[in-house]
Structure 1
Amino acid sequence: MRDNTVLKLAFDIATITREKIGMIEKIMQQTEILALNARIEAARAGSSGAAFSVVAQEMGRVSGGINTIARDFRQQVEAHTESIETVGATMLEELTGQRFTDIALNAVEIIDRNLFERSCDVRWWATDSAVVEAVALPDEHRCAHASQRLATILRSYTVYLDLWVADKEGRVVSSGRPERYPGVQGKNVAGEAWFKRALATSDGDAFAVADIANNPLLDDAPVATYAAAIREGGERDGEPLGVLGIFFDWAPQAQTVVEGARLDEQEKTRSRVMLLDAEERIIADTRPENIGRRYPLKRDSRTRGYYAEGGKLICFALTPGYETYEGLGWFGVVECDQARLDETAPE
């Protein structure tokens, strides 16, 4: 049952009541006219019409009484209808706000669960013997073998654009798709934040992650970058020898999440679902033309909630993280057209 079904029924009852009162008032007006005409005719009839005059007067009195009752009833109905509309609009906003806030939370939770897996992938693959050897004992054969291993991973994990192995100086010695991205191998990434943070991690359980950014070496595609230090012997406490960087193909995965939000068809026509980064930059949107713009979220330090502004109801939720993945301070947001919240209710 839709949230506004009960409210619509209340509006319908009020409308029907007003219509029926109007019909009663119209009939009573006709009755009063008939009573007046009857009195006129009784007066013309003189003494022989006296009894009929009494009946006509009584009809007029009864009609007037019913009109008074109908008028009072109408006033009460109008007053209560106004209260119903006020309370109903508030109730509908609360129901919608809570529901859409839950949808916003669900969207950001889904993406964080997905990205938690990426953090697991990078730490695991950084211990692969071929990856370790490519930076521990670098030569053409070992680097080529590492590239083959990375290519095998990419054939199974289709959510990645590429995987890179960089030595301790930041030079990329192996990649998973050298034919598709020929400018990667030999590129120095020592200045990249993800490389520096990964190389500085304390042990093999740690990783580095960068916010969504377009990577010029990957055809300028937006990616979520995860990185982990490649350590001597693949050991947790081994000396860092280089860095493994993995590049999550952000756009199609994120678009699937926002478009898959649990809205019904009517809600989809009046709503948009977004993911925002910690700087309130739109990184996914059911209206993709807005991606990259800043969304001025007014949350007043709240981690979740909703508010109305400019005819819109804005519902939001901060990522709670997932297991060992704390998240990056991202928000799920649902924005809906408030003017159409009760579009099925009568005006």
Structure 2
Amino acid sequence: MSEHVAIQTETFLPYMRDVTKCEQSLQELNLMWRVIEASAKMNCPSEAKTILPTMAATRTGFSRLERELVVSLVQEKVRNVLTEIGTKAQYVIDIVVRNLFERTADVGFLATDRELCNFVAGITDNTDAIRYRLREYRNKYTVYDEIMLLDTEGNVLVQIDPATPLEHSADALIGETLNSDTYVETFRFSDLRPGKERALIYSRRMQHPQTGAVVGILCLCFHFEEEMSGIFSSHRDAESRSNMLLLDADNRVIASADKLWVPVGTEVPVNRDGNASLMLFCGREYLVRTVSSDGYQGYPGPIGWQGQVMIPVEVAFSGVISDALTKLPSDIAEGLLSHAESFCPPLFDIMTAAKTIQRIVWNGQVMTAGQRGEMLKLKTILDQISETGNRSNELFAQSIHDLYQTVLVSGMRDAEFTTSLLVDLLDRNLYERSDDCRWWALTPELRTALAQPEQDQATVEKMTNILTYINGLYTVYTRIFVYDRHGRIVASTGDNAAAMIGAQVDEDSLNQVLSLRTQQQYYVSPFSATSLYDGKNTYIYHAAIRDLDNEAIVVGGIGIVFDSTPEFSNMLASGITGKKKMTAFYIDRNARIISTTDDKRAVGDILDIDPALLAISNGGRASQVTIHDNEYAIVACSVSSGYREFKVTDGYQEDIIAVVFESFGAVQGTGSQTDSRQFLLDTDPAITDGNEYATFFSDNNLFAISAAHVVEAVPYSSVLPTSMGTRVEQIGVLGLQRDDNRKEFIWVFDLGQMMRGTRSAVSGSSQVMIVREGEHTIGLLVDELHAVPQFNPGQIMHTPFALQGASMLVTQVIKANNGQLLIQAIDVERLFALLIDGQIPMPPEVAEQAAENTSSTLQLMAA
């Protein structure tokens, strides 16, 4: 254990009441082991000499486990909190950057709007008409709270916000914009928005339609406070234990989920490296994660902006307790635990250490079996060992359960949050698409052209140029096309654009567009394959194009083909960046795949998923543990709920479910682990002269062998595999240390295969029991150790052993717990007779060679 880890453990331990309680219990048990060892040395040193080394090993192992367990619990809890707040910090900045990327496209397009340019150039002078046009734009793109046009001197020509009337601006952004051939992004106080401490403004110069001379400026003022409030309310933790922040390059807060807690303008400590260290802010210690954006489609975002989440350390580890683990089917819970080494190394280490302590206690009881008799003092020591061993096992099991729960619940929460982000990204992106189609449908040139009975070549070229310009700015579309009121496409961009002229829009889409009543309405085709997208599945957004002089007359429509394949894939990939074991999907309510990061599945396939997850209400999310592609996995879902008015009040409904699977490893075969709680033995103090049996599990059944024949148990990892065996039951050899320090090699047999005929599944619980009969010693692979109890003769019942199959080795049944639990007792003499005396036939042609090879191999290994 490194000094750094020790310091971190001591730092965080006072804030983890459950771990502190566990540590106290471990210390009490450690003290108990010391007392038992001291009592044995003082009261019966000669009688206890055979178990004193085992007790010393037990105490040493327990001390090591105590340290490892506490450190593992602390580190796992800290890591999970840092991961969770880091994910949220990443999403804060990513959502902001993606949103602002759309603003850069908007200002570039609107600054070239012919009607607006004519007005700013003085070609037209109808201020009311221009204000109406800007308000129509605002009605579509509701993320703006002000739009204004200025001349080159900073005089305000028109604006849409009546609450802050302006005549002139002296802001430096005017000169900067006039001298720039692209957009200018400004975030600070501006006299253009006098009511705000800071304003986020996107400005671009405007040019004379005929001469190209710079004649003015367009300013789009983003409703920054409203947007950040929406992000925080959607993604902050429900208990409000943490605070989400947006920071500038100087680490000052520019947006806060709780302004009373961390005010805007405050400088805060940052943690860009994700270190597990506490940071002091206003006299309070926090865990902090700070994340910058990698940009989006070439747009870096405002310089230096960062997402941050801060959580006070005193509440960081006291979230809502989940019972997710206890709800799992036992086979799935056991299967997940079998992969502990890969998905949670600390958990695997604790499980391994717990099994080691269990084996030490079990071996101590086996070693002293039959020695009690007159050794009453030693009997008391043994009882104490047994009782303390059981308490130790219970504490280990509870500790493993707690850590397992921590890992599992953290994974489920992270997966749920990931899906919540994914549907948010999708709704926000498609909101922009609904805005675009409606705004472009207002283009005067398109309205005028479609009002004509027929469009000549010059008109078609003019429309095509307009659409091509738009498509160049908005690259999320593979095609933008215009059609007349009969559904005939008259202009198009994209591949094979010329071939599309004259093609017919599908009848259902045409009827839906012709029935639209206002400029605010739009229609989206179902997600399906279309020739307009090379036969692939996508959405097409439609809006009605209305007569310029009479808006009640629909003269045609505009369709924009969303480039769904890369765009949806990009959203999914960005949401699971760095999560190598996670796959993501967008599906509909029928589980039909809309997009996926899984190479084994295609768009249009049906995803195998619990129907209950498909029925989650809008805005809801859930997670569970399942088996996916023959692997144990967390599955989490979130259902879209819209963004702003999109899918909320605009009449459009298309529920999308984001799904992620996080894999933990392949499904294990049955029988590898057993719930020993089902096989607890009631102790009977009246039994003083009974026989002791070593009990163990194989194939989820409890078996027993007379303890007089059992030497000890060793982990399966000690077995050396070999191909020398002449029987399928022989799985390897085991080297035993003899008293003269020489090694004795014995064969190891698979007891499960002997009983049922198929090879046993090996897990972290697998043990090899060393069994001796006379001069012969063998190893038996079993699934798990159990106990070393006493039974009196009246509890032992003989069974007929003429039956075939497993009963060949089981000649007695032990009635435990007043007959409620039957334990199958294996006849050791019969076992050795079958294995050693050759009653399981060995092929004659290999017997001699096998004996020679075995002798040579063991001599070589001994040397």
Instruction: Give TM-score scaled by structure 1 length.
Output: 0.77
* 1:238 positional shift: 3.7
1:334 and 2:660 correspond:
yes
* 1:272 positional shift: 1.4
* 1:261 positional shift: 1.6
* 1:200 aligned residue (499, 505, 515): 515
* 2:606 aligned residue (259, 274, 294): 294
Please name the residue that 1:227 is paired with.
542
Residues 128 and 234 in structure 1, CA contact (< 8 A), matched pair in contact too: no
Please name the residue that 2:411 is paired with.
96
Unaligned runs of 5+ in 1: 37-56
Determine the C-alpha separation between the residues in 2 that align with 1:168 and 1:272: 44
Determine the C-alpha separation between the residues in 2 that align with 1:78 and 1:175: 73
Q: Which has the higher contact order (CA 8 A, sep 6+)?
A: 1
Determine the C-alpha separation between the residues in 1 that align with 2:548 and 2:383: 96
* 1:131 aligned residue (425, 446, 449): 446
Aligned pair count reads 312
1:171 and 2:488 correspond:
yes
1:189 and 2:505 correspond:
yes
Determine the C-alpha separation between the residues in 2 that align with 1:218 and 1:13: 55
Q: What does 1:242-261 correspond to in 2, within 5 Å?
A: 242-261=556-575
Determine the C-alpha separation between the residues in 2 that align with 1:324 and 1:25: 67
* 1:87 positional shift: 5.1
Residues 225 and 248 in structure 1, CA contact (< 8 A), matched pair in contact too: yes
Give the number of the structure whose alpha-carbon radius of gyration is greater. Answer: 2
Residues 175 and 185 in structure 1, CA contact (< 8 A), matched pair in contact too: yes
* 1:332 positional shift: 0.3
Please name the residue that 1:160 is paired with.
477
Determine the C-alpha separation between the residues in 2 that align with 1:153 and 1:96: 43
Please name the residue that 2:592 is paired with.
281
* 1:339 positional shift: 4.9
1:82 and 2:408 correspond:
no
Instruction: Give TM-score scaled by structure 2 length.
Output: 0.33
* AA matched with 1:330: I
* AA matched with 2:566: P
1:26–1:308 distance in 2 versus 1, CA, 3 Å: closer
1:29–1:186 distance in 2 versus 1, CA, 3 Å: closer
Superimposed CA distance per residue, residues 230-256 of structure 1 (whole angstroms, 9 cap, x where no aligned partner): 011187x44211010000110001111
* 1:102 positional shift: 1.5
Determine the C-alpha separation between the residues in 2 that align with 1:245 and 1:333: 29
* 1:195 positional shift: 2.6
1:258 match: secondary structure:
helix
* AA matched with 1:139: Q
2:539 match: secondary structure:
strand
Determine the C-alpha separation between the residues in 2 that align with 1:306 and 1:26: 42
Unaligned runs of 5+ in 2: 1-77, 81-339, 648-652, 668-763, 766-863
Determine the C-alpha separation between the residues in 2 that align with 1:79 and 1:250: 54
Residues 213 and 222 in structure 1, CA contact (< 8 A), matched pair in contact too: yes
Please name the residue that 1:316 is paired with.
637
Residues 18 and 74 in structure 1, CA contact (< 8 A), matched pair in contact too: no
* AA matched with 1:186: G
Bigger share in helix: 1
Which piece of structure 1 moves more, 241-250 or 272-281?
272-281
2:659 match: secondary structure:
strand
Please name the residue that 2:555 is paired with.
241
Superimposed CA distance per residue, residues 186-219 of structure 1 (whole angstroms, 9 cap, x where no aligned partner): 112151x333212211100000012322222432
* 1:94 positional shift: 3.1
Residues 585 and 596 in structure 2, CA contact (< 8 A), matched pair in contact too: yes
Determine the C-alpha separation between the residues in 2 that align with 1:101 and 1:21: 37
Superimposed CA distance per residue, residues 130-176 of structure 1 (whole angstroms, 9 cap, x where no aligned partner): 21122112422222101110011111111111111110111111112
* AA matched with 1:124: W
Residues 230 and 241 in structure 1, CA contact (< 8 A), matched pair in contact too: yes
Please name the residue that 1:47 is paired with.
none
Determine the C-alpha separation between the residues in 2 that align with 1:195 and 1:278: 26
2:606 match: secondary structure:
coil
2:482 match: secondary structure:
strand
Q: What does 1:39-78 correspond to in 2, within 5 Å?
A: 64-78=379-393
* 1:91 positional shift: 4.8
1:150 match: secondary structure:
helix
* AA matched with 1:187: A
* 1:288 positional shift: 3.9
1:273 match: secondary structure:
strand
* AA matched with 2:511: K
Which piece of structure 1 moves more, 7-16 or 196-205?
7-16
Please name the residue that 2:322 is paired with.
none
* 1:93 positional shift: 3.4
Determine the C-alpha separation between the residues in 2 that align with 1:282 and 1:128: 36
Residues 104 and 332 in structure 1, CA contact (< 8 A), matched pair in contact too: yes
* AA matched with 2:473: S
Name the Cα RMSD after superposition.
3.3
1:260 match: secondary structure:
helix
* 1:14 positional shift: 6.4
Determine the C-alpha separation between the residues in 1 that align with 2:357 and 2:533: 70
Q: Which segments of structure 1 move beyond 6 Å, counting only runs of 4 or more?
A: 24-30
Determine the C-alpha separation between the residues in 2 that align with 1:318 and 1:338: 24
